[in-house]
């Protein structure tokens, strides 16, 4: 195997479930002494196998990263963590995934052009997140055109952007935003919650229709 092979250590076991089982993504990755990660779908992989698998999907123009064994979708956050992406790999993934999303989502392409005031823009010149609402597929939402602007965007502003881009959505005070297991305060910013480019936020309808937290 390559000398720069990415390996897991027991120290990472608090964040990643590690096992000594052969990879389900690469039949030749079967060293019984190697630690591998258990994916959210239950299949096992090494960091290198996961990187290669996802890169192949991106090179085919896929906009979602899925397990080739069971077709369950992986979040980009999970892939970044378990694939142990290097800075160069993450830049490639961000740029390639972003271009695929724009190519396959005319509405988001229009929003991007509107933000820049021109249709001639680079896919890497924006920051976006994905919104999961009512257990439907994740919808891409362009938030900002610079890192500083992205980090200073409030949760309330994200709600307003999503509502403006999504016909039939309820008012912002009827939606609560969740990141991970935490309910988000509308007044706080993306940077405060350490939400990063291509993270997934979940929007949940408030049963009581109350105001933001």
| For the chain, domain boundaries | 10-90, 105-205
Per-residue pLDDT, averaged over 31-41, amounts to 93
Q: Show Cβ contacts of residue 206 under 8 Å, excluding neighbours closer than 6 positions.
A: 173, 174, 175, 176
Extract the tokens encoding 201: 């936020």
CATH of 105-205, one of 3.10.20.90, 1.10.150.300, 3.40.50.300, 1.20.140.10: 3.10.20.90
For the stretch 50-62, pLDDT in tens is 999 999 998 888 8
Beta bridge mates, 139 = 131
Structure confidence at residue 116 (pLDDT): 42
Taking the whole predicted model, whether its pTM rises above 0.85 is answered as no
CB neighbours of residue 133 within 10 Å:
17
Specify the pairing of strand 127-133 against strand 200-205. Answer: parallel
| Phi, psi (deg, nearest 5) at residue 49 | -65, -40
pLDDT for position 135? 62
Which range, of 65-69, 73-77, 157-161, averages the lowest pLDDT?
A: 73-77
pLDDT interval class at 82 (50, 70, 90): very high
The Cα 88–Cα 211 span in angstroms is 42
- The Cα-based distances of 90 to 55, 86, 99, 101, 162 in angstroms read 11, 6, 14, 16, 26
**What local confidence, expressed as pLDDT, does residue 101 receive?**
53
Average the pLDDT over 113-131 and give the result: 56
Share of the chain above pLDDT 70, in %: 79
The per-residue pLDDT for 170 is 78
């Amino acid at each position: 195997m390559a000398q720069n092979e990415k390996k897991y250590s027991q120290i990472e076991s608090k964040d990643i479930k590690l096992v000594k089982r052969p990879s389900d993504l690469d039949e030749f990755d079967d060293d019984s002494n190697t630690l591998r990660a258990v994916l959210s779908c239950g299949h096992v992989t090494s960091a290198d196998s996961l990187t290669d698998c996802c890169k192949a999907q991106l090179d085919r123009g896929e906009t979602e990263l899925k397990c080739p064994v069971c077709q369950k979708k992986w979040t980009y956050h999970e892939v970044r963590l378990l694939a142990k992406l290097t800075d160069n790999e993450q830049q490639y993934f961000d740029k390639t995934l972003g271009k695929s999303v724009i190519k396959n989502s005319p509405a988001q392409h229009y929003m991007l052009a509107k933000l820049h005031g021109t249709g001639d823009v680079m896919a890497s010149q924006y920051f976006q997140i994905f919104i999961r609402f009512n257990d439907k597929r994740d919808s891409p939402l362009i938030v900002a055109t610079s890192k500083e602007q992205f980090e200073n965007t409030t949760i309330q502003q994200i709600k307003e952007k999503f509502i403006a881009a999504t016909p039939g959505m309820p008012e912002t005070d009827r939606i609560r935003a969740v990141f991970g297991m935490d309910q988000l305060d509308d007044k706080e910013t993306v940077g405060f919650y350490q939400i990063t480019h291509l993270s997934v936020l979940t929007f949940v309808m408030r049963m009581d229709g109350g105001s933001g937290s």
